[in-house]
Amino acid sequence: VRPLPPKATHQQTKTYNQQLVLKAIFDHGQISRAEVARMTELTRVTVSEIVADLLKKGLVAEVGRGPSAGGKSPILLSVVEDAYHLIGVDLANDEFRGAVVNLRGDLVHSLSLPLLNQGEAALEQVYELVDALIARTAQPLLGIGIGTPGLLDTDRGIIRQAVNLGWKDLPLGSLLQARFHLPVYLANDSQVTALAEQIFGAGKGELNLVVVKVGRGIGAGIVLNGQLHQGDGFGAGEIGHIAIDPAGEPCRCGNNGCVETVASTRAIARRARALAGAHPESLLNRLAPDPAMLTIEEVLQAYAAGDSLARQVALEAGRALGFAIATLVSVLNAHRILLVGSVTRFGQPWLEAVCAEVRRCSLAVLAQETEIDFGDLGANAVILGASALLLTRELGLSLMR
Amino acid sequence: VRPLPPKATHQQTKTYNQQLVLKAIFDHGQISRAEVARMTELTRVTVSEIVADLLKKGLVAEVGRGPSAGGKSPILLSVVEDAYHLIGVDLANDEFRGAVVNLRGDLVHSLSLPLLNQGEAALEQVYELVDALIARTAQPLLGIGIGTPGLLDTDRGIIRQAVNLGWKDLPLGSLLQARFHLPVYLANDSQVTALAEQIFGAGKGELNLVVVKVGRGIGAGIVLNGQLHQGDGFGAGEIGHIAIDPAGEPCRCGNNGCVETVASTRAIARRARALAGAHPESLLNRLAPDPAMLTIEEVLQAYAAGDSLARQVALEAGRALGFAIATLVSVLNAHRILLVGSVTRFGQPWLEAVCAEVRRCSLAVLAQETEIDFGDLGANAVILGASALLLTRELGLSLMR
């Protein structure tokens, strides 16, 4: 017999409703107590008590008076966006990036450090980055959020494996907690990106949302019923390693023909290098001194200039991604899917290739009812996502029932 | 701005804890009030109040005394398995099947009607079946649960499309409710099968569980965080229509090369028919008067007798299913996957082909941590699943926080 789920307590009800009131104020910018009561269906007395507590904590302030609805004009409440600052860190690229972020998701200060090392030395760089960020703000800190590629254990704060950084079973959460005496949350870069879009971006407020990050790596972040779905081993969304072509290129994961080997930036550059020679008319041959040196940047440049080989390569990659997204559609049936990451720079024609393949490879009625679009947080998505992870865990801002 | 989620109420806390106490008694067979209090961490007073209410409703009874732990020997409580009966219906096959089911998931009476008709007439057959089942029991009825293939809207009780039955946008829920004055719940056959395995079967108590039904059709039922995940359009788990081979056979869904066209019973029989002629040594040629008449039964028979062509055909189908399951592993990272349905009769070698393909087509660490096994409810899985749907919705027996 499995253990029972935990009992429910009246304290949980209170905490939930406190978070609900904070969310109402957060979502609406400026709002009166009466309006909060109407929207939450809590009594005015309950709302006033909760608001008094939020005022005391400095999370909310009275910011003026709204239009009168007959009687006295009501006092408007607003979240104090600098009441707490958050440290958001993105370990996802060739450089470590971080920012001091306010409660609205504005980047108050940003920093980046080129990634010079691996292993222990890379860890020192993380410390250095967080030290430098903390020095930039005098506000109380809510904590530290980290987004990083690889497989992580969010509950225990452990990086199980981050190949690029040479980390294996690194207890990054407790190391940072011990050093900075702050709550620390970490999750996979694709997963936090989904939270970023759900809290601050194009997926704001969606109950079910899938965000697919397509850059050097490919992964999906999955929000179901308002909560990040990470799976039993925190590996949910690893669609970049669905092997779609057994005879395909070897993948860094050890299998062959994974989605990443045909749809990532590296795959696109490799494919362009392989084909350029046989297409002397292609602009690709004039953008790099040697076709063997072509990078994703030249492919994007040729694509923008209308080069047909660059287009062919990009759309092929889009179709491979489309197949992976068809599996997401078939498994999850979430009506909103957002694409983010550097490959989205191929824009509308690439997106159309993705969508056409989704339609070809999943049940028509499911594909038709799925809206696939670009996310809108750009290069800061992981920093904002790491901050969103912290916000949801500490303040319950994505609370759902 | 999206609407806020609903407020939390103390009544929800009470209801949840009532369900928790019922679940504790349900899961443990016989248990004392003190033991329930210990397990749920509710006070003895609260447990006694809730138990008094369950006794009054007849859902629970005092069934004797347990061993003394020093003082008076405690009274043991047990769920009264016949306090309510449930009507579970399976519209999944060539026949409509149904049963009167008790609270433990025992089939008290079973009935089946050959499916003679489509459309309106098929609906009359559903009425007939439910009439006949209701006539078999004198116990109060909790309601009617229905599992059926096709795309359904569980919230509104509508069958959006069931091709085999010729139904489109049929409000089966409200039709049955109006006729029988009972709560009615319906969901896709694969989805209810997952609930069946989670409440009564091999996945008992799993928080995350995926059950893949492989028969004439192929679909997955997905339980996440203890709840059935149906998706925004109730189509979650439609992995049978992931198109894995664009040059493949046309599928009844309109696309080509779907998983169903290579891994279902029909696909296996068709493949056997196509290959038998070229393999005169195969037993398949002797089991049917004409190879063009081969059905899945002959393939199973030849397979059981060690026929190598039958084995080849079955394992090919297993590998195609394995790819579909690799997408489930990659997207959901649920540690437990159960396979059910008529194709599972190919047994261990087929299961091994499935598992090998899962390993080849998904991230090694995810595949290694996923246990893939057979479900254990057999032909009654859909009836039990429809009953489980009713139980969870009416009594909250899979309640999770």
Q: Average pLDDT of A93-109?
A: 92
Mutate to test the interface with B, among A17, A22, A28, A232 (most CBs of B within 10 A): A232
CB contact (8 A) between residue B205 and residue A238 = no
pLDDT score at B93: 66
By CA distance, what is B329's nearest residue in A?
Answer: A236
Segment 140-169 of chain B within 8 Å of chain A by CB? 151, 160-161
Segment 211-240 of chain B within 8 Å of chain A by CB? 220, 222, 224-227, 229-239
Task: Identify each DSSP E strand in B281-367 by its residue range.
Answer: 336-340
- B202: Cα separation from own chain's centroid: 11
Residues of A in contact with B372 (CB under 8 A): none
Segment among A89-98, A320-329, B243-252, B274-283 with least mean pLDDT:
A89-98
Q: Average pLDDT of B383-391?
A: 96
By CA distance, what is B26's nearest residue in A?
Answer: A1
Q: Name which residue leads in pLDDT, A318 or A396.
A: A318
What does the DSSP assignment read for B38-75? HHHT--HHHHHHHHHHHHHHTSEEEEEE---SSSSPPE
Nearest by CB to A331, from B5, B28, B328: name it. B328
pLDDT score at B401: 46
Q: Average pLDDT of B219-243?
A: 96
Nearest by CB to B363, from A6, A17, A238: name it. A238
Residues of B in contact with A232 (CB under 8 A): 208, 333-335, 369
CB contact (8 A) between residue B236 and residue A208 = no
Both tokens assigned to A185 = 């949350």
Q: Average pLDDT of B353-371?
A: 96
Q: Spell out the SS3 assignment of chain A.
A: CCCCCCCCCHHHHHHHHHHHHHHHHHHHCCEEHHHHHHHHCCCHHHHHHHHHHHHHHCCEEEEEECCCCCCCCCEEEEECCCCCEEEEEECCCCEEEEEEECCCCCEEEEEEEECCCCHHHHHHHHHHHHHHHHHCCCCCEEEEEEEECCEEECCCCEEEEEHHHCEEEECHHHHHHHHHCCCEEEEEHHHHHHHHHHHCCCCCCCCCEEEEEECCCEEEEEEECCEECCCCCCCCCCHHHCECCCCCCECCCCCECECHHHHCHHHHHHHHHHHHCCCCCCCHHHHCCCHHHCCHHHHHHHHHCCCHHHHHHHHHHHHHHHHHHHHHHHHHCCCEEEEECHHHHHHHHHHHHHHHHHHHHCCHHHHHCCEEEECCCHHHHHHHHHHHHHHHHHHCCCCCC
Q: Average pLDDT of A71-88?
A: 94
CA distance B38 to B242: 47
If pLDDT is split at 50, 70 and 90, which confidence band does A241 have? very high
Residues of B in contact with A28 (CB under 8 A): 1
Query: How far does the CA of residue B285 sit from the closest CA of chain A (Å)?
Result: 33
Q: Is A305 on the interface with B (CB under 8 A)?
A: no
pLDDT score at A401: 46
What's the whole-number average pLDDT of chain A?
94
Residues of A in contact with B400 (CB under 8 A): 5
What's the whole-number average pLDDT of chain B?
94
Residues of A in contact with B248 (CB under 8 A): none
Cα distances from A15 to residues A10, A206, A394, B14, B253, in angstroms, run: 9, 22, 12, 16, 47
Segment 40-59 of chain B within 8 Å of chain A by CB? 40-42
Mutate to test the interface with B, among A44, A209, A330 (most CBs of B within 10 A): A330
Pairing of strands A167-170, A107-114: unpaired
pLDDT tens readout for residues B70-93: 888 999 999 999 999 999 999 976
Mutate to test the interface with A, among B331, B336, B365 (most CBs of A within 10 A): B331
Nearest by CB to B1, from A28, A237, A362: name it. A28
Query: How far does the CA of residue A401 sit from the closest CA of chain B (Å)?
Result: 6
pLDDT score at B2: 73
pLDDT score at B291: 85
Q: What percent of chain B has pLDDT above 90?
A: 85
By CA distance, what is B331's nearest residue in A?
Answer: A237
Say if residue B243's pLDDT is above 70. yes
By CA distance, what is B2's nearest residue in A?
Answer: A205
Q: Average pLDDT of A189-208?
A: 93
Q: Average pLDDT of B305-311?
A: 97
Segment 327-366 of chain A within 8 Å of chain B by CB? 327-328, 330-335, 360-366
Both tokens assigned to A161 = 């494996």
Say if residue B241's pLDDT is above 70. yes
Cα distances from A151 to residues A125, A162, A167, B240, B389, in angstroms, run: 20, 7, 10, 29, 35
Say if residue B399's pLDDT is above 80. no
pLDDT tens readout for residues A298-346: 999 999 999 999 999 999 999 999 999 999 999 999 999 999 999 999 9
Residues of A in contact with B4 (CB under 8 A): 20, 23-24, 27, 39-40
CB contact (8 A) between residue A243 and residue B39 = no
CB contact (8 A) between residue A327 and residue B363 = no
If pLDDT is split at 50, 70 and 90, which confidence band does A288 have? confident
